[in-house]
Amino acid sequence: MKYTCTRNRMESVEAAQAIAQGISASGGLFVPEQLPQITYADLCRMQNMSYVELAEEILGRFLTDFTADEIRECAEAAYSPEKFSGGHPAPLVMLQNGEITQYALELWHGPTCAFKDMALQILPHLLVKSLAKTNPGKTAVILVATSGDTGKAALEGFKDVDGTRVLVFYPQDGVSPMQKRQMVTQEGANVGVCAIEGNFDDAQTAVKGIFTDASMQAVLAQHQMMFSSANSINWGRLLPQIVYYFSAYCQLMNSGEIDYEGEKVNFVVPTGNFGNILAGYYAMKMGLPVNRLICASNENNVLTDFIRTGTYNRCRPFHTTISPSMDILVSSNLERLLYDMTNGDAEKVSGWMRQLSETGSYTVDAETLAKIQSVFYADFCDDTATMQTVKKMKETENYLSDPHSAVAFEVYHRYHAVSGDQTPTVVVSTASPYKFSASVLTALGSELYAQDGVNDEFEQVYQLSALTGTQVPQPIQALAGKPVRFTDVTAVADMRKAVLRLAGIE
C-alpha cells in the first residue's frame, strides 16, 4: 500500500513516511493509492471481534510496511480498558421516539471525553514506530491547531512519549471553559500550550504555513527535530477513525437490526474539519453498506452550502457558537474527498486549493458535485435549535446530549421529516455533555450555579449531574484540583516564535 499526494500524484510514499511527515512538501494531503475492499463474509467474521481485533484488521490492510505485531502493540496500547471506560471504546446506544429509531455511536468514553481519543490514543504509537522506520534518532515536533477537543486529546496521547514534543495552539475565546482547563492543566514534560488572538481557522492556516516553511524546517533539523501533525491532515490520525464505522455496523449486525446481506445504514456526523465524516466515506468505499452520509453543521455552515451548491466560500461571518469544535470555515479534509471524487485529478484539486487560498472560494464542476450529492446530504442549525434539541432529547429519549451531537440529532430529524427515509441511522456522538455543562444546563432550563473563582465550571458540572441523575466522567472530576501550567497568548503573526520557544529551541 503506497500513499500519494492530493496535489502531486508523482509523490509516492510508504505509510510510515506519510504518518511521520504528516503533510506533503507541496502542502497537499497523503491519501492511499487504492482502498482495500471488505466483503460481507469479512463483516460476518468481524462481527464478533473485540475493538482491538477490529482495529488490527482494518489498520493492517493500510499499514503494509508495519508488521502484524507492531499493529497489535499499537492497538492494545491505545484501546485498553484502563483508557476507555464502560467495556467498549465505541458503544452503540439505541434511542427510539415514535416512528424514529436512531442509534448514538458514543465516541467519548476515552481519557479526554471526546471522539478525538479514538484516533489520538493510537497515533502516538503509530508515529513512534513510523519515525523508527524513516527518521531514526529524530524528535517529532507535533504541531496542533485545535478548536477544542483535538488539543487535549493530542496532549494526553503524546504526554511523555519518547521522541516527541507536542505543541497546541487554540483560539483564546473559541473553546469552552472545560476544554480550556483540560489543555492548560496538562501534565507531561514534552507538552506546550498557547492561546492565539484569533479563531481556529487562523491557527490552522498558520500551522500549515509553519509546516511547509523551509527555514523553520532547517532550524528544527539543526536540533535533530522534524515537524509532524496530530490534526486529521495526518493520515495516521484519520485512518483509526475508519474503524469505528465498521464497529457500529458490526454492533448493528449483532443486535439483529441488520438482518440481510448488504442492508444499508445512514450515518449523521457533526462536522467541522470534515475528517470524521470522511472516515465514514472511506469505510463506505471499502465496502461498508452505507446509504447516506449526513453532514451536520452549526451556523458556520460552509459545508452545507458547498454540498448543496458546489461552491466553497470561506468569505463569510465567523460565528462563535455553543458547539465550538465545529466553528470552522476552512475544512481541510474536504481536499481528500475532492481528490477521490475527481478520480485522483491532482491538478484540478490543486487549482481549487490555490483559488481557496488566493480568493477564499472555489466552485467544483457539475460532475464532481453530482457525485458528492449522490452520497452526502447536508443541513445546519443555529444555537437556538441546538439547545431546543438538547432539551427535547432529554425529555423524549432520556438522553443527555452535548451541543455537537445535538446538532447532528436535529439535522437528522429534519432529514427524516423531508425524506421519509426509513434506513437504520447512526448519529455519531462526539463529546460528553459534561465538557459543555453551562450550555447544556441552559438548554435544560436550569439556572447556572455560579461563583467567583476558577471552579465555576466545576460547580456547573456538579449541578448538571444532580439535575440529570447522570455521573460526571472521571477524567473531568480529576481536573478539579489540577494547577494551571500554561497561560501564554500570542498573536497569529508571532506563532513561529512561539513554536520555537515551546520546542525549547529559543
Active-site residue identified among 2, 116, 180, 264: 116
> Which burial class, exposed, middle or buried, applies to 341 when counting CB atoms under 10 A from its CB (0-12, 13-18, 19+)?
buried
Active site residue 2: no
List 376's β-bridge partners, or say none: 293
For 256-366, strand residue ranges (E) read: 265-270, 290-297, 311-313, 361-363
Residues ≥6 apart with Cβ < 8 Å to 136: none
Q: What is the dihedral of CA 198, 199, 201, 203, to 10 degrees?
A: 50
Residue bearing cell 494531503: 29
**DSSP secondary structure string for all residues of 217-242:** HHHHHHTTEEEEE-STTSHHHHHHHH
How far is it, in rounded angstroms, from Cα 194 to Cα 184?
8
Residue 311 in contact with residue 302, Cβ under 8 Å? no
Give the cell for residue 281. 466515506
> Which burial class, exposed, middle or buried, applies to 66 when counting CB atoms under 10 A from its CB (0-12, 13-18, 19+)?
buried
Pick from 404, 395, 396, 386: nearest CA to 100 = 396
Backbone angles phi, psi at 119, to 5 degrees: -105, -35
How far is it, in rounded angstroms, from Cα 339 to Cα 332?
12
Residues ≥6 apart with Cβ < 8 Å to 411: 268, 294, 296, 297, 379, 380, 381
Residues ≥6 apart with Cβ < 8 Å to 33: 1, 2, 3, 4, 12
Pick from 275, 251, 276: nearest CA to 265 = 251
Residue 324 in contact with residue 147, Cβ under 8 Å? yes
SS3 135: coil
- Give the per-residue SS3 of 355-383: HHHHHCEEECCHHHHHHHHHHEEEEECCH
As a whole number of Å, the CA-based R_g of the chain is 21
Give the cell for residue 11. 509523490
* Helix segments in 398-484, DSSP class H: 403-419, 437-443, 456-468, 474-477
**DSSP secondary structure string for all residues of 10-75:** EEEE-HHHHHHH-S-TTS--EEESS-----HHHHHHHTT--HHHHHHHHHHHH-TTS-HHHHHHHH
In whole angstroms, how far apart are CA 106 and each of 244, 360, 398, 429? 10, 35, 15, 5
Catalytic residue numbers read 116
